Chains A and B, each alone.
Chain A
Amino acid sequence: MPFARILSLALAALALTGCEDVIVVDLDDGLPPRVVVEGGVVHSATVQTVRLTTTSDYFAGAEPPPVQGATVTISDDLGTRVSLVEATPGLYRTEALATSIGRTYTLDIEADGVRYRATETLREVAEIDSLYLIFQEGQGPDAEDGFRVRLDFRDPAGAGDGYRWQTFVDGDSRLPEQVRRIPTLISDDDLFDGQTVTGYSPNPEVAFQPGETVVVRQSSATPQALAFFDLLLQQAAGSPGAFDVPPADIRGNVGNLSDLSRPAYGYFWVRDEFEVTITVP
């Protein structure tokens, strides 16, 4: 129930704003690197990309090392298989994959003699019927006045639909890119299965200002993807605080066929997307 959890976490955060400072911590690092998979299949997209990197020491402070020279293929459950080509170091792409809703896609990677595999089914996402802006005063500490994005959509009947919303602002330099992009929400449809959802606020914490162009993307997510993004978003929001789930590795869906004890990190995300752009007047 990630939707309600986000709210309860926000509540706890407001109630307990302690004093924060940066400290030096000694970590048990120096571990052998692991492969990280980012990317996946976007329905009807011209280009499909998969980025392969590795882990590094926690305080490394550098771009993640790319995995170069890997063999990367995506196949579907009809036997179609395409190879991805390394365009820039660690970034593998193809324009040859035709996708359709309901197909299951498998990612195969062979990097430095180790084979990895991930499988996920493409689900359809509801369209955004309308997207609009509402001015709100910030409520609670650190909240900004500004325009909040609201949207309407119809959830299809039948439980098990999952959503992820991402909000992008063009030309906005107030925040570093990942901080701007990551505080997006996810939800399953447990509490609104089959309903016409109106006035949904996908990102209540971010206020937009006049002149900004906002892109809201609504994507489908399987229960496994929701679980992955739920934990990812919690970490990006600065978890774990005193009320948070104890920290643990975020398990993705990419297994290691050569050594089961060392699955890859990241997620092979197969999804349908619907995007709407709006400019704050």
Chain B
Amino acid sequence: MSLRSLLVLALASLAVPASAQVSGTVRDGDTDEPLIGATVSTAVDGRLLGAATDLDGAFQFDLPDGEHTLTVRFVGYRTDSLLVTAPSSDIEIGLEPDTEAIGEIVVQGDEIDRVDDVEMGVSRIDAADIQRLPLVLGEADPVRALQLLPGVSQGSESSSGFFVRGGGADQNLVLLDGTPLHNPSHVFGFFSVFNPDVVSSATLYKGGLPSRYGGRLSSVLEVDQRTGETDRVRGRGGIGLLSSRGVLDGPLPGGAGTFLVGARRSYADAFLALSPDSSLNQNIAYFYDLNGRTDLRLNDRNRITLSGYSGRDRLRIGDTFGTRWGNTAGSARWTRTTDRLATSVGVSTSDYTFTLEVLEETQTFDWTSNIRSDQFEASAIYDIDPGGSRSPIEVGFVGTQYSVNPGTVDPGEGGFLLPLQLSEQTGTEAAVFFGGERAVTDRLSIRLGNRLSGFVRTGPSTVYLYEDDAPVVYDALTGRYEPGTVVDSTTYNSGDRIASFGGLEPRVAVRYRLADRTSLKLGFERTRQNLQLVTNSTSPTPLDVWELAGEYVEAQTANQIAIGGAHRFGSGTGAVELSVEAYARSLDGLVDYVDGADLTLNDRLETELLPGEGRAYGVEMLLEKTAGRFSGFGSYTWSRSERRVAGLGLGDPGINNGEWYPAPQDRPHNLSLTGVYQLSPRLSLSGNFVLTSGSPTTYPVARYTYEGAVVAEYGERNAARLPLYHRLDVAAAWQVGRGELVMSVYNLYNRKNASSVTFRQSEVDPLQTEAIRTSIFGIVPGIAYNLSF
């Protein structure tokens, strides 16, 4: 049970004429650990009465005398019901983890949450469901699953990078057991780094960000590894077309706690080696992930959690070149719980390193870049009002040290190349925060939080100074943006302050319940981001380097306001819930790159970028049915994401003459339909359909010839759009013995979705030009066998 579960549901128990009290404790049925924020409720005369559990898993509320059926719910656990006679005390409830539930698509914990939860814009996907969705090559992937949710869109088919509410891929904070991962993807982004057997749940905050989170503008994706089983050692694994994986978890000797270890490896290169073609069988291509976690129980009140991850991608093309990249992350966290106070202290570190090896004889070199973050956090949750309507208050501190090496070129022996070292970057981010929630009346509930954050960019570093303080100049005659003239440079020693940024990040969420089945919500939040991914390509790549805010690149700020509502129709297995949210967001401190900017191994990025601003707005709709033999959800989002880059104010055009233009992640329409039908206890069928606007792109408007090559004259940046993207996937899952066989077909009707449209000269007739559509996946069958024992 992590401290994140401040998911406290303030139910309408206060104003009810009190007759008899019921009280008790909700625990994890396996580990006996108290569950914080589980809901215990019952319906009385059409009204929902109940309470959320506190830090000790305890609940209490009042009910009319007599018999009642209490329903107990918690995210990631099977919902339980029990009959009680009020008054009643010391009710002990053990919830079973929902890790092997069949056929459910639990997007959010359950039906209560949407209507009664104060949170807005939160989506969860449970591990068991991730594996049942039809996915490319049969590889289950939490990030791919999240892309089906409203407000989330896919970077491109070749990218697990995702965009939340019109934000860039680098505006998502991706946490594994609380540790940020800087590039959570494999195979140029086809797959995320999360082994589905290791993941207990994936929670995406696209709004309603708790105040303990900061540092990214758009969203937080919180992926937690499972805690090990407490009764016996258990294993689970899977064999797929692309990769195989295995996880072992269980109790530590002497009841000291639990452990979990997991591994996954792909074997594309094993197939390549079988090829008789020497251009293929000399190649190397694989990725692997190693996961580990242990939860140590020192005594009833003190626990320590250690978590680690390491993954690598490796690709080598014959004797020409190769790459390797990956993340290594680890954390240690100590949690102490007393009656009214839970404190937590943790340290974590995370490194992402990319290496390109060029093996061309005398031009051999290694090119390496990396980012590392070291974090310390301390937080306390204090229950100011045990058993009352005010939820615990959380306060805390987070400090993060970033160090970035944008590039080192290390030539091989005997070559003519010289070593090169780009200026390294160092920065420190610190934040203090508090947050709490209060039920003002039985209908009105408010959650308030604030965060004060600061960032200091420090030496050692060399900062270039430019003529007229202009790192970018505009040549009006040729219409070109050119690097400014360096007139001097300032050398900062270790620890010297280069630039600093900071401010408050208020977070407010209000929920008003109109009726038992309907609620309205309102939220505001501000977020800040002090580093950004230097990417000038259409989707994120492993080569992209992070740039810390500093002398020339500002920190970014976003303000978001959102309004939403939820309503539940029907009841029992026929219940359907509809939720709608509208949001608007403004972004300051954005940059965009001048036309044709060259960002590779560039030590003076400031000469290639122009300052700008952004705005994003949209409406998200989600209809879901969670109970019964058929479950599923449909989501539709209409949204826009735009940028404006006015230029230098020297009569220069900026980008698109300073008009608003679509950001690369702009996808006005986004529809997804997902359903699972439980045909029999052993067989379930599932399908999903996705339809999205094509991504913005720039098409030619005219052509000319230079040295015999046809060259395009382009229109406004991002004024055109790729063709509509859509596909249908289906899957069937059979329980076979102790395992499950999943067969899937991705892109059933073999739609050729364009990942890009390029223009080129015909090879047959050089005077002719043609538009070329590149599509990554046609119809892809997949088969996987998942086993647990």
Contacts and interface: CB of A to CB of B under 8 A. Distances in A.
Indicate whether A and B interact: yes
Interface of A: 1-2, 4-5, 7-8, 10-12, 14-16, 18-25, 27-29, 31, 33-34, 36, 38, 53-64, 117-118, 137-141, 143, 175-179, 181-182, 190-193, 195-201, 204, 224, 227, 230-232, 235-236, 238-257, 260-261, 263, 265-267
Interface in B730-789: 752, 754-761, 763, 765-776, 778
Given A62-B767, A241-B774, A243-B538, A249 B476 contact: no
Contacts of B409: 4, 191
Binding site of A, secondary structure by majority: helix, strand, loop or mixed? loop
B766 A177 contact: yes
A247 B700 CA distance: 9
Contact of B711 (A232, A240, A254): A232
Contacts of B758: 238-241
Interface string B584-618: 00000000000111101110000000000000000
A246 B717 contact: yes
A18 B708 contact: no
19 contacts: A15-B188, A25-B757, A59-B769, A118-B478, A176-B761, A176-B766, A182-B709, A195-B416, A195-B417, A199-B362, A200-B416, A224-B482, A232-B706, A235-B712, A238-B758, A238-B760, A242-B158, A245-B536, A248-B717
B704 to A, nearest CB: 4
Contact of A12 (B411, B541, B759, B773): B541
B72 to A, nearest CB: 48
A26 to B, nearest CB: 9
CB-CB nearest 8 A-B residue pairs: A255-B477, A178-B708, A139-B318, A248-B595, A199-B362, A1-B601, A25-B771, A251-B480
Given A18-B774, A23-B773, A38 B712 contact: no
Nearest to A117: B477
B272 to A, nearest CB: 11
Interface residues of B, number: 98
A248 B479 contact: no
Contacts of A7: 321, 356, 358
A213 B417 CA distance: 30
Nearest to A177: B708
A2 B601 CA distance: 9
Contacts of A36: 704-706
A230 B361 CA distance: 24
Given A61-B767, A201-B363, 17 more contacts: A14-B317, A19-B774, A22-B770, A25-B771, A27-B701, A31-B702, A36-B706, A57-B703, A61-B768, A139-B320, A140-B318, A177-B708, A190-B420, A242-B756, A245-B536, A253-B480, A263-B479
Interface in B650-702: 664, 697-702
A25 B706 contact: no
B534 to A, nearest CB: 12
Of A24, A245, A252, most buried by chain B (CB within 10 Å of CB) is A245
B282 A250 contact: no
Nearest to A3: B363
B704 A54 contact: yes
A197 B187 CA distance: 34
Nearest to B764: A176
Contacts of B489: none
Interface in B51-70: none
Interface in B264-298: 278-280, 282-283
Contact of B417 (A24, A54, A59, A191): A191
Contact of B755 (A12, A18, A53, A61): A18
B323 interface: yes
Q: Which of B600, B714, B776 has the most CB of A within 10 A?
A: B600
B319 interface: yes
B706 A55 contact: no
Interface of B: 156, 158-159, 187-188, 278-280, 282-283, 315, 317-321, 323, 356, 358, 360-363, 365, 367, 409, 411, 416-418, 420, 475-480, 482, 536-539, 541, 543, 595-598, 600-602, 664, 697-715, 717-719, 723, 752, 754-761, 763, 765-776, 778
A177 B774 CA distance: 25
B477 A263 contact: yes
Nearest to A23: B773
Of B282, B713, B768, B769, the most chain A CB neighbours within 10 A belong to: B713
A126 to B, nearest CB: 13
B704 A242 contact: no
Nearest to A267: B706
Contacts of A140: 279, 283, 317-318, 320
**B320, B321, B417, B775, most chain A CB atoms within 10 A:** B320
A199 B361 contact: yes
Nearest to A54: B704
A1 B318 contact: no
A252 B708 CA distance: 16
A96 B320 CA distance: 47
Contacts of B538: 240-244, 246
A58 B600 contact: no
A137 B319 CA distance: 10
Contacts of B416: 192, 195-198, 200
A55 B707 contact: no
B772 A20 contact: yes
Nearest to B318: A139
A58 B536 CA distance: 25
Given A139-B317, A244-B538, A247-B698, A61 B769 contact: yes
A241 B595 contact: no
Contact of B598 (A2, A253, A260): A2
A243 B537 contact: yes
A64 B595 CA distance: 25
Contacts of A62: 767
Contacts of B536: 245-246
Nearest to A243: B537
A36 to B, nearest CB: 4
A200 B363 CA distance: 7
A60 B417 CA distance: 45
Nearest to A265: B704
A248 B598 contact: no
B318 A260 contact: no
Contacts of B478: 118, 251-255, 263
Given A7-B358, A15-B315, A61-B767, A251 B601 contact: no
A265 B760 CA distance: 18
Contact of B714 (A10, A175, A181, A248): A248
Given A1-B601, A242-B158, A251 B704 contact: no
Nearest to A153: B416
A38 B317 contact: no
Contacts of B767: 61-63
A20 B771 CA distance: 10
A257 B476 CA distance: 10
Contact of B537 (A58, A64, A244): A244
Given A182-B707, A235-B709, A239-B758, A245 B477 contact: no
Task: Output the residue of B280, B282, B770 with the most chain A CB within 10 A.
Answer: B770
A4 B406 CA distance: 14
B597 A245 contact: yes
